[in-house]
């Protein structure tokens, strides 16, 4: 075998596979942002067709080359450079799972989920879960079948169906490990929530800020972060998201929420973190795993580090105070950065995940994680998800949704078919706290730079230590590479303890 020629062939085919992935992403972005309502059913069918074509290309053209190279890479006989070997083995892991799914199943899943998403958007606007319930049931049945296909093709690899789906988003992670994380984290979350200072009831914003002014601030903050508008754009959608078509075109959306004057800002910080990660991939590695996300938890760590570790810090409130004050007709007269810091760090159980504070946020994730497992096992019927959601919110957060939009319909993920995704949000917050601690140790002046608006200090650290590695390492291996240890929830606990001390908590 001519390894150089074969590796180049893998790169070329990988680039074509990435082109097809990008084409699907463009169609998805258009469906969520620009497409007229009447286009939804046809677009769903088109997405299904293209998803099937992409899958056939992966299995028939790309996979044989990857498997031939993987035999050499697995032997570890020094014939390959480290980066080449890691690209090959990471690609082999992906094609192994992909081969478990027939192309017609992939096409059907893509179409069903695209249709479910469109129905979800209308159902959410109308607070009408019953209209969405049959689509949720169809999605859940597809995910059950997907888990069975995975487990039949790879016997012994997954302990349960949920682990098989979780592995799509967090390779190598199991349900048992997620349970262990929550078992360790939950007591600390309850202790810290109880120790948090009471909410400051003073109204910083007597009226909702002008939406155009909010979006202008979002663009300014994205520029501070280093988001390249020549290689991206910001739009408005029902649910904020980031989507990439290669490092040269990574787009984000945010949303303006009545009664939540800084929601758009923090959505932009969050999605901007995702976008910086994808803009930071090496363009010359397009089509290779080193130009793809390591995992969803690492992707989420990059959004949470900007949204929370930076965005909810006292230093950020100092840097942005004048801009935030300009949103209010009172210009926040009588308030200062410390008041803004308290305002954006109120710890209080609430209904909406994306608006939740850093502590109670993880109970929102725990609710979804438990419901997903029940839906997948069949112990919970899709039509009963509304009532189950309300009961779990009452148990974990002490609140009950008043309608479906602030309850079971608030997230788009189940319509997308993303069962197994939600735990990566908690993992991402934990990784974010750990990576931020590493950045502070490596850059002793980081906090001062944030206060002064010199945010490129953090961007440069993340680029060199996270972005450029892509999918060369697993999540745990990347954490080891950056800081010498695997994921350790104690970093998050210490970070929150420090913040609550500044806030005046008990």
DSSP 272-301: HHHHHHHHTS-GGGTTSGGGS-S-HHHHHH
What are the DSSP calls for 45-94, one per residue? HHHHHHHHHHHHHIIIIIHHHHHHHHHHHHHT-S-S-HHHHHHHHHHHHH
Q: Residue 34 CB: number of other CB atoms within 10 A?
A: 10
Q: What angle do CA 274, 447, 483 make, to 5 degrees?
A: 65
pLDDT digits 0-9 by tens, 318-342: 999 999 999 999 999 999 999 999 9
Q: How much is the pTM?
A: 0.93
Give residue 77's pLDDT. 62
Give residue 78's pLDDT. 62
Q: Residue 444 CB: number of other CB atoms within 10 A?
A: 8
Domain spans of the chain, in order of start: 3-157, 176-380+420-503
Of 455, 475, 370, 354, the residue nearest 405 (C-alpha) = 354
| Residues 438 and 449: beta-carbon distance below 8 Å | no
Q: Is 271 known to be catalytic? A: yes
Phi, psi of 327 (to 5 degrees): -75, -25
Mean pLDDT, consecutive 10-residue stretches, the chain (506 aa), reads 92 96 92 88 93 95 96 78 92 93 94 94 96 98 98 95 97 95 96 92 87 97 98 91 93 93 96 98 95 97 98 98 95 94 95 93 98 97 98 97 96 95 97 98 97 97 97 96 96 97 82
Give start and end residues of each alpha helix (H) in 196-295: 211-225, 263-279
Which H or E element spans position 349?
none
Q: What is the DSSP letter of 230?
A: G
Catalytic site residue from 111, 121, 271, 300:
271
State the virtual CA torsion across 24, 27, 28, 29 in degrees, nearest 10: 120
Give residue 394's pLDDT. 97
* Residue-wise burial string across 156-183, b where 16 or more C-beta atoms lie within 10 A, e elsewhere: eebebbbbbbbbbbbbebbbeebeebbe
Burial bucket for residue 443 (CB in 10 Å: 0-12, 13-18, 19+): middle
Which H or E element spans position 208?
none
User: What is the rounded CA–CA span in Å between residue 77 and residue 17?
Assistant: 29
Tokens standing for residue 198: 């009471």
Give start and end residues of each alpha helix (H) in 344-384: 361-377
CATH architecture label of 176-380+420-503: Orthogonal Bundle (1.10)
Burial bucket for residue 302 (CB in 10 Å: 0-12, 13-18, 19+): buried
């Amino acid at each position: 075998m001519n390894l150089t020629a074969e590796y180049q062939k893998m790169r070329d085919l990988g680039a074509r596979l990435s082109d097809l992935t990008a084409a699907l992403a463009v169609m998805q972005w258009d469906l969520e942002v620009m497409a007229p309502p009447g286009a939804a059913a046809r677009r769903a069918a088109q997405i299904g067709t293209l998803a099937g074509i992409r899958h056939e290309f992966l299995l028939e053209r790309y996979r044989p080359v990857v498997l031939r190279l993987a035999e050499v890479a697995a032997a570890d006989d020094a014939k390959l450079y480290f980066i080449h070997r890691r690209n090959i083995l990471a690609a082999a892991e992906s094609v192994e799972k992909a081969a478990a799914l027939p192309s017609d199943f992939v096409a059907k899943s893509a179409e069903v989920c695209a249709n479910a998403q469109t129905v979800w958007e209308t159902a959410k606007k109308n607070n009408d879960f019953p209209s969405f319930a049959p689509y949720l049931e169809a999605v859940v049945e597809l995910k059950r079948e997907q888990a069975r296909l995975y487990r039949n093709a790879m016997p012994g690899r997954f302990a349960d169906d949920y682990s098989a789906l979780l592995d799509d988003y967090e390779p190598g992670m199991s349900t048992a490990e997620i349970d262990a994380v929550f078992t360790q984290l939950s007591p600390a979350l309850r202790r810290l929530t109880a120790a948090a200072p009471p909410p400051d009831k003073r109204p910083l914003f007597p009226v909702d800020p002008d939406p155009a002014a909010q979006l202008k601030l979002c663009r300014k903050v994205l520029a501070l972060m280093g988001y390249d508008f020549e290689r991206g754009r910001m739009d408005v959608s029902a649910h904020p998201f980031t989507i990439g078509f290669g490092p040269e075109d990574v787009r984000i959306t945010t949303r303006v929420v009545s009664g939540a004057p800084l929601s758009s800002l923090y959505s932009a910080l969050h999605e901007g973190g995702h976008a910086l990660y994808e803009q930071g991939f090496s363009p010359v590695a397009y089509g290779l795993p080193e130009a793809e996300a390591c995992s969803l938890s690492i992707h989420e760590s990059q959004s949470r580090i900007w949204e929370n570790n930076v965005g909810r810090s006292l230093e950020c409130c100092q840097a942005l105070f004048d801009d935030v004050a300009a949103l209010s007709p009172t210009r926040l007269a009588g308030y200062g950065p410390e008041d803004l810091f308290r305002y954006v760090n109120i710890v209080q159980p609430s209904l909406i995940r994306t608006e939740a504070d850093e502590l109670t946020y993880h109970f929102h994730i725990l609710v979804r994680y438990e419901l997903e497992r029940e839906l997948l096992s069949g112990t919970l019927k899709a039509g009963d998800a509304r009532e189950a959601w309300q009961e779990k919110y009452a148990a974990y957060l002490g609140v009950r949704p008043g309608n479906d939009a602030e309850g079971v319909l608030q997230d788009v993920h189940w319509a997308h078919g993303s069962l197994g995704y939600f735990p990566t949000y908690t993992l991402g917050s934990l990784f974010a706290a750990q990576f931020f601690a590493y950045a502070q140790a490596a850059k002793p002046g980081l906090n001062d730079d944030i206060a002064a608006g010199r945010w490129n200090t953090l961007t440069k650290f993340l680029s060199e230590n996270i972005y450029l590695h892509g999918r060369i390492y697993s999540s745990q291996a990347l954490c080891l590479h950056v800081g010498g240890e695997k994921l350790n929830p104690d970093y998050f606990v210490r970070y929150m303890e420090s913040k609550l001390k500044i806030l005046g908590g008990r």
